[in-house]
Structure 1
Amino acid sequence: MKSKAELIHFLTSMIFTCSAQHASVNSGQFDFGAWMPNTPSSMRKPLPTVKGTATLKSILETLPEVNTTCQGLSSLWQLSNEPGEKRPLGCYPDEHFVEEVPKQLIVGFQEHLAEIFQEIEERNKSLPLAYTYLDPRNIENSISI
């Protein structure tokens, strides 16, 4: 890196990738994949090759058996329920900075996250299904898998 701007860009990208982007991709996996037809862990027959030829009977014969489905969902559930202490974005229980400027920057960041939370909460009130995966309270500081 040749400049302060390049360093800022790199660090911003890294923080975004390990927090908000990870949450946007990872957090909804169980909600989507828990309904087995969305993510079947195996298939007992090949998919139809001609559009419109699938019947309910052929679909049910193709989807995996219950035992296979339960095993796949168990793995997905374990990944979505990460063990350990969760640390939301902006929550830093270990005090690494004792200088006043970094402390003020952290407080400013936390205040900005609180504003974002309020906007999301207000927007979700009008939605039939709230989108909470990018709520700062649900985003962890870093990837924890």
Structure 2
Amino acid sequence: MTPPEAPATGPDGSGAAQPPAVSVRLDVLRNRSDFLKAAQARRQSAGSFLLQARRRGPNEVEGEAGGSLIRVGFTCSKKVGNAVARNRAKRRLREIARSVLPGTGRPGWDYVLIGRPGVTADRDFALLLSDLRTALAQVHRKP
């Protein structure tokens, strides 16, 4: 099953789609140190992937978006498969993050989604979305 596509027209029938109601911006983690910090924080298995999440400290850079910045990273090891399989798994993880995190993620947090062999690339897309929502709820639950 493929991910749903955005409508070409806005809800009022005009040619321009309205911007999302949530003013949260996603930024991509690129530095190894950010991935290592997330690896030492909270972890939640989601069945089709592993979610690592951590709240950034007050002295860490927030970027131009201020406190409304959610950072997200994606990784798949060679256990997931060859380059084609890893890239497919990461594309699917990027799409679920783009769909779910602006509404469910928390500003000031870093999230890393780690693909799993044989599951991430083949799981139904609706189930991937559900897995991420459930994992986020578990991570943000009061300890």
TM class, shorter-chain normalised? under 0.3
Q: Which has the larger radius of gyration?
A: 1
- What TM-score do the two structures reach when normalised by structure 2? 0.27
Q: Which has the higher strand share?
A: 2
Higher relative contact order (CA 8 A, sep 6+): 1
- Structure having the larger proportion of residues in helix: 1
TM-score (norm 1): 0.26
